[in-house]
Amino acid sequence: MMTTGYCGSCECLFMSSLVKWQMKNMKAKTLTVFDFDDTLVKTTCRIKVITKTGREKWLDPATFNQYNPRKGEQFCFQEFAEVKEPVMLSHMDKFKRDIVTNKKVYILTSRDKRRPIRKFLADIGIDVSKVAVITLGSSNPEDKADWLQHKAQKYNFDSVYFADDSPKNIEAVKNRFEKTSKRVILDLVT
């Protein structure tokens, strides 16, 4: 069971029944952001790792999230040019509800192409005009934290809801918002 917790000078909350109730009753202007792979959908896309000796191995996104790169390794994300064999996960229900209740919902992904995601969303009947797909082309957790911080500050959001399957991404965002007055709700998808 996930718990509710607080850290530093901001409220970093982890999903619980209490948090879900608080989000439902929040009147603040909330930046709502979801990761895509292994948060909203599970796909068969994999990351190719090329070692410094030229050997290749393949990792799924969950394994890659825990992977510690070795010196000289290169990564190829070519399979992420499409959404391969998607299976919707439970957070897709919340995502769909949030599209109805919020003006704009964001997908913030490490992928470098947004078109396959937008096509997938349209194919399942989602109004893509209500979803901004942000592609970073980077798996560095600090890049997600940078984007969230910039967006929250630029548009003066009172609070941030961020769902992601990567503990590294959740931790980077938590650390980034610790010293701000923004309310941050972090949802680690397991």
pLDDT at residue 23 above 60?
A: no
User: Is 104 inside a domain boundary?
Assistant: yes
User: Is 100 inside a domain boundary?
Assistant: yes
Residues 113 and 29 occupy one common structural domain: yes
Residues 145 and 53 occupy one common structural domain: no
3-state secondary structure of 47: strand
Residue with tokens 């967006």: 151
Residues 100 and 180 occupy one common structural domain: yes
**120 CA to centre of own chain:** 17
User: Is 4 inside a domain boundary?
Assistant: no
User: Is 1 inside a domain boundary?
Assistant: no
- CATH (domain of 124): 3.40.50.1000
Residue 71 structure tokens: 């010196």
End-of-domain residue from the set 62, 80, 98: 80
Average pLDDT, stretch 54-74? Answer: 91
Residues 116 and 149 occupy one common structural domain: yes
Q: How many domains does the chain fold into?
A: 2
Q: For residue 15, count other CB atoms closer than 10 A to its CB.
A: 20
Average pLDDT, stretch 35-47? Answer: 96
Q: How confident is the model at residue 27 (pLDDT cuts 50, 70, 90)?
A: low
Residues 6+ apart with CB under 8 A from 17: none
Residue 68 structure tokens: 């510690």
Q: Which of 127, 98, 119 is nearest to 34 (CA)?
A: 98
pLDDT at residue 20 above 70?
A: no
Give the span between the Cα atoms of 108 and 2, in whole angstroms.
23
Residues 120 and 90 occupy one common structural domain: yes
> What was the pLDDT predicted at 181?
87
- Tens digit of each residue's pLDDT (9 = 90 or more) over 158-186: 999 999 999 999 999 999 999 888 899 99
User: Is 73 inside a domain boundary?
Assistant: yes
Residues 138 and 160 occupy one common structural domain: yes
- Find the farthest-apart pair of alpha carbons in the chain and give their distance in angstroms, rounded: 55
Residues 25 and 71 occupy one common structural domain: no
End-of-domain residue from the set 80, 105, 138: 80
- Tens digit of each residue's pLDDT (9 = 90 or more) over 87-101: 999 999 999 999 998
Residue 73 belongs to domain spanning: 47-80
Q: For residue 8, count other CB atoms closer than 10 A to its CB.
A: 12
Strands (E), 98-148: 105-109, 131-135
User: Is 116 inside a domain boundary?
Assistant: yes
